[in-house]
Structure 1
């Protein structure tokens, strides 16, 4: 299973003011807020943590058949692990000047099996979820602003 998220940093700056009163308390655990405060660039840390939470939520939604706004029940750790619903997930986050992209997987070894698809032509939906046409592996799609990312796992 795989999940992902991508954030257009220019759009995030325009649409969201994470510094407003109460925002961090609604989204981030005390440990995550401490990571934000200690970060060299707090804004990048906010969006990096948010991206990890979103990527993990996509796996949790798909495996547990759960939908709902649960950011405080998704706890990011400094080592890249994320805890949700009693399950640890493993994440890889790439930060550039323009975007932040995270991929989340169930097993650490799967981080080396991430495959980026070029377009949606390789994707088909089954029972509301995306899969790769060629091998029926689960696919995760994320888009925000100028960016889209489509990921799956190799064999």
Structure 2
């Protein structure tokens, strides 16, 4: 006849394991929910930080922009697009160095403008606008003069 103490001990152990298993399962579910909410919060923080950088960069540009009276005296505001510059240069069939001679800068500067690594100054934007207004023949004539 088996010992009643050992049977009681085995039964208590079995019931305890069963109770612990249900408790652990509940904790696992809660832990998974917490991890997913933490990940969502991190994504939200990253997007807010990105938006903050974008807004602060835009406000820095606004603060550093000249007054409206100064820009009205200088003429119309010029916009710059790296892609449009590269397209215009390739349309003319010019090297970056030749295009730079027309604008009054080096070929390396033109290359950096096209890559978006640098932006032209206001005076250089005026030179670029002047070159854009010229035709192929006029540009060829100017390059031959130099």
Could you say which TM-score interval applies, normalised by the shorter chain?
Answer: under 0.3
Point out the structure with the larger helix share.
2
* Bigger Rg, which one: 2
Point out the structure with the larger strand share.
1
